[in-house]
Amino acid sequence: MRSTYAIHAQIAIEAHTSNCKLMFKTILSLTSLALAAASAHGAILNLDLKGAGGWGLLPTNEVPATTGGTGGEIGDGIFYDTDTQILTLNFGWGSDYGFTDLSSEINNDVGGGLHIHGPATMEENAGIKVYLEEDGVSDNGSFVRNDGLSGSFYGTVVLDDNKEEDLLAGLYYINLHTLDNASGEIRGNIVNPAMIPEPGTYAALAGIGALGLVGFLRRRRRA
């Protein structure tokens, strides 16, 4: 049977874990309120690409993860104007842009091969929301295919209120489909870095829980 000491220690761990989760949710809530306020007054939000595997357009961001090339922001990057509701995209992939070449050419049979999907978290897949390229020609910007394995996209997408809400929640992702990976080779959710806690934030929350547990155990030993 578990001792009373062990039971109290487990209760303390669960309590501090709950407190850490609550603090984390509070941080996200406050950040969301700040973004909503900025949106209401008009602002340019600098965005980035991220997934379960890391920052950028990565094969490990696909669900499930795959293997292949890499990509990410180039030039002016990705940003959103909350006044005009215009999303500006500047990203590339392959060795011509300092990344890794794709495993094979872009699959034009999958709606042109380059899209924004959503709404979905980094651990989910979703349908196509915006076709960024159709057989080398884009209605939303300039698609440059330097060769079969490298390329870039520069363009804009106008969002409505519903799409803006999903975008600011980090629920839209860029997906690039290739011949070897028809469901997607590289992917990245469009996120606001301010919404993604730094590793130090997680460490601080964990530290608070650890200090609380140490204090509890010391009090138990003195009792």
pLDDT at position 155, please?
A: 87
C-alpha dihedral (138, 142, 145, 146), degrees to nearest 10: 170
pLDDT of residue 195: 77
As a dihedral over the C-alpha atoms of residue 194, residue 199, residue 200, residue 203, rounded to 10 degrees, the angle is 130
* Sequence ranges of the domains in the chain: 1-41+197-223, 43-191
**Cβ density class 20-29: b for 16+ within 10 Å, e for less:** beeeeeeeee
Distance separating alpha carbons of residues 158 and 168, to the nearest angstrom: 14
Mean pLDDT of all residues in 54-73 = 98
- How many angstroms separate the CA atoms of 41 and 173, rounded? 26
pLDDT, tens only, 127-142: 999 988 654 445 556 6
Confidence tier at 197 by pLDDT (50, 70, 90): low
Closest CA to 79 of 91, 64, 65, 67: 91
- Does position 222 have pLDDT exceeding 90, yes or no? no
What phi and psi, each to the nearest 5 degrees, are found at residue 156? Answer: -135, 155
User: 175: Cβ–Cβ under 8 A, 6 or more apart, which residues?
Assistant: 62, 114, 115, 116, 117, 184, 186, 187
**Whether pLDDT at 7 is above 70:** no
Lowest model confidence (mean pLDDT) among 23-37, 48-62, 119-133, 136-150: 23-37
What whole-number percentage of the chain has pLDDT above 70? Answer: 62
Quick check: 214 pLDDT over 50? no
Q: Is the predicted pLDDT of residue 146 greater than 70, yes or no?
A: no
pTM greater than 0.85:
no
Please answer whether residues 109 and 121 qualify as being in contact, where contact means their C-beta atoms are separated by less than 8 angstroms: no
Q: Give the strand pairing for 78-81 and 86-93.
A: antiparallel
What's the full length of the chain, in residues?
Answer: 223
- Span of 105-114, 165-174, 181-190 with lowest mean pLDDT: 105-114
